[in-house]
Structure 1
């Protein structure tokens, strides 16, 4: 009996010490939490009344109410609704600062693995959130492992580059998923880490295929999990793999109908497969959801998610030769005075939509008049995007036989490439380098140097074939190998032009100018059957109410 009393007394003492510790930590945590500057306010979603974002079951410490709210935040996180997800995790922290995984959630919101690498304020916020998470004792070993795994990305962020830290995070998540083989979320986040760490130059897609195996093994038992279907799309967002993601692309929007990104993301696969009607429908829905969100959230100016969808829908309209609808989007773009946030996505859209319209339609005079500064947008911060406009101006001058003016634009492109190299933005510098080689090829052609011209244009096409497109774009403003086909046609070499167009159509199926160029080349080669085949494809692609044939021709 005395032993029982002693044990009871000891238990009460331990409990009181734990409570005392939690109470003494509160003012300390309050100061640290305030320093993070968490996003707060009402969670904003646009969509069906039930605000569907998918079904997630991530087990954490806390009562049922906390777990339910945490899973809501995780569902938002999986659809890249980072601002709203952070609000959810902030609400959990406000109610109970001892929920360590809520800080992990904040850090994940500021990592965004498949988007533009986080800027310094986001890295500071994520790192501080993880510091608090590590300091909290009231967490399970599994939660500690999640926190330590993400810490592998934020560790030494001041000294290590983004890719190195992504590789560290991938390895940490591999170990975590192996340690907890029955943890579905660990497997999903490991697949995401694999995609984030994938080498853009690896044409065997080793990491992506591994991620795909993981996600596809989970899909039968988790068909409404937003992360599973979403990451399948990202995993296979490559010309050679896109067909593998078509079922997920056709389903994702219905899994998370209240996410603007979920409405848009399927169009990545539709674009890869040349399914223009489906891409248009997807992006129009995304634009509507984005406008609703921006208005509800009080965003000043146009939200970047709307801009992103606009570029994709214009690209699709142009392939269907629906110039009226494409021009309406360009005109609407010109009404924006402010974009939020003023980031890479917005900069690309402001550059790409006008350039696509004039280049796809061979409006060379109009191309020479394009400007580089949309009203109220800091384009000077984005050399790659500015290069797109100067590339269009250069092609315009070349085709108008104004070689001196074209060379001036070439000089600007080289300056922009050097600026990117100086900033160690090697991927973007390579994108400009491709344009420089293509530009030099066309200038050399106009100067009467066909052999040198072909060498440069072939180099540009080969470089582009070895480089994956950035997720921000539905495709190059003009594919280099398609431009090579155009050059062969000017040189009156239809057989080689046909080969170039056909090779390009394998990577960019159902592109209008690719099909038209192939049809013209085949006709010039005397191959009426092949010319008729491409002509039929053109009619199918441009049909007003038709459905695109995935992967054709």
Structure 2
């Protein structure tokens, strides 16, 4: 999370105040004619505070505001209470991350107190927003309880001011914040989506509504409803790197790899214009965007490009993202490379690395190393639960079960291996993905299908590959699995279709994977 010293705002608040003013409808401008979007944020602050407040709110809608962005309006009006509210909102960083440290909560509470103290002349709407933030920074046992209590306040405020587009957009975001990632009916996401679509229709210039709608529909089953938002959001907030990145969420959920790469490279370009025409630098400016790009390239079998990206980071002395290193081994099926991946120091990445090492060792047939890695992986469950919550602890369970299943297979215990892999796949199907790991490290139903195919159950494998493709569409390894399983069942038409799809997907790839060769051989022999 991002937080800025409270002293910055305390100094600004001590400056002379000006009289209250009517609402100012000014576009929030950024550098070089670029913009963070147009907002018309109702407030009771002085005229001189309006432009800087609108800019800060517009940046807030793209998760790019920091508390110090709200210092400028306070220079012009120390009683601009809503600026302190904005600082408290900005202190959350990306509120969908699901993690808040004690120091961030303390900082947010301090901003809320300043907002309350400055609210003498605030409007009832402004006081309602401040009260909602006070609720957010209250004492709660977990982040979900916190988010839902805050969302209830925002729902009531939205009901009181139904025609306020920014308030509606922030309510939609609050509803999404309170979503349980393991809830497969997407009830909260759909409810938020209705609100946000209404804002998009009535106020098409507002940058918050399409941004939050992409997050609401950031699942394969819902992503088609976010295509319009993905197309317009980056045009509304041209100065925002995050706005350029966000369409990548939709394209990734739909398996549109070229579009995902383009969106994330544009995000890198906005952050660093020198990366525009550099095929390597344009991939690796930001770790999060690089993860999207690497995942997409690996589906297109552009293994060499991802390898060169990682080599460039190593040569520049940059830390290579654990998730990309893991994906690079797993997506290529290089199990021995996976088993050797380096161990990072931080706990979150250690879970990813331990799983990759355990899974790689097991699939390479090294049951002894796999057992060691699985034990280390399970030991991380308690600490990750305490530090990051139940969602990540459940991820640890799924990873450990999948690796153990393949270890059992390596020991010749086929029935036990299949039973445990079924359990991992079922758990993973109901375990929603998190924005910090947009594309799951490994779809466990695909892994189950791999095991079924390896153990001589091609019909079951074919069904599970197809089911996996609904949750993670247009994956190279899934399409290859469908082709191989269909071949083994004698369904030559399905095999032909899948092998043709595979070669189309990998048309711009390196053509070095065994799957490419198998596809070419099958199609040559079968017309």
> For the superposition of Structure 1 and Structure 2, which TM-score range results when normalised by the shorter chain?
0.7 to 0.9
Q: Among residues 507, 511, 514, which one is paired with 2:478 in the alignment? A: 514
Q: Show the 5 A alignment for 1:200-211.
A: 200-211=181-192
Structure 1 match to 2:501: 537
Contact 1:315 1:474 (8 Å CA) reproduced:
no
CA distance in 2, matches of 1:405, 1:252: 47
Other-structure match for 1:58: 41
1:75 match: 58
**Alignment match, 1:252:** 233
For structure 1, the 5+ residue unaligned runs are 1-28, 37-44, 295-301, 340-348, 374-378, 546-553
Rounded to whole Å, the distance in 2 between the matches of 1:415 and 1:46 is 50
Match of 2:378 in 1: 414
Where does residue 550 of structure 1 map in the other structure? none
1:284-433 superposed matches below 5 A: 284-291=265-272, 306-335=286-315, 337=317, 350-373=321-344, 379-380=345-346, 382=347, 384-423=348-387, 425-433=389-397
* Match of residue 274, structure 1, among 250, 255, 276: 255
SS at match of 1:438: helix
Within a 5 Å distance, the mapping from 1:155-304 to structure 2 comes to 155-156=138-139, 160-291=141-272
Cα distance, 1:48 vs structure 2 = 7.0
Change (3 A) 1:95 1:366: same
Equivalent pair of 2:361/2:369 in contact (CA under 8 Å): yes
Deviation at 1:208, TM superposition (A): 0.8
Give the whole-Å Cα distance in 2 for the aligned partners of 1:90 and 1:338. 33
Question: TM-score by structure 1 length?
Answer: 0.82
In 2, Cα distance between the equivalents of 1:507 and 1:59? 42
Taking the aligned partners of 1:504 and 1:438, their CA distance within structure 2 comes to 15
CA distance in 2, matches of 1:249, 1:121: 34
Residue of 7, 10, 19 corresponding to 1:33: 10
Per-residue CA deviation, residues 507-551 of structure 1 (Å, 9 max, x unaligned), is 111000000110111111111111111122223322339xxxxxx
The answer to whether residue 107 in structure 2 is matched with residue 125 in structure 1 is yes
* Equivalent pair of 1:103/1:130 in contact (CA under 8 Å): yes
Instruction: Give the distance between the partners of 1:35 and 1:412, measured in 2 at CA.
Output: 50
- 1:366-388 Cα offsets, whole Å, 9 max, x none, are 22221113xxxxx33x2x32121
Aligned residues: 482
Higher CA-based Rg? 1
Question: Which has the larger displacement, 73-82 or 181-190?
Answer: 181-190
Query: How far is 1:220 from its partner?
Result: 1.8
Task: Say if 1:497 and 1:47 are closer, same or farther in 2 by CA, change over 3 A.
Answer: farther
In 2, Cα distance between the equivalents of 1:47 and 1:194? 29
Structure 2 gaps, min length 5: 1-5, 14-27, 276-281, 510-527
> Which of residues 427, 434, 438 is equivalent to 2:398?
434
Does the CA-based 8 Å contact 1:310-1:329 persist in structure 2?
no
Distance in 2, Cα, partners of 1:519 & 1:151: 55
- Give the secondary structure class of the aligned counterpart of 1:54: strand
Q: Distance in 2 between matches of 1:336 and 1:224?
A: 41
Deviation at 1:337, TM superposition (A): 4.7
TM-aligned CA distance change 1:403 to 1:502, over 3 Å: same
RMSD between aligned residues: 2.5
Contact residue 233 and residue 243 of structure 2 kept, 8 A: yes
Contact 2:53 2:72 in 1 (8 A): no
1:212, CA displacement in angstroms? 0.5
| More divergent stretch after superposition (408-417 vs 302-311) | 302-311
2:95 alignment counterpart? 113
How far residue 219 of structure 1 moved from its aligned partner, in angstroms, is 1.0
C-alpha separation between the residues in 2 aligned to 1:46 and 1:404? 60
Q: Could you say what secondary structure the match of 2:438 adopts?
A: coil
Report the CA distance between 1:478 and its aligned residue: 1.8
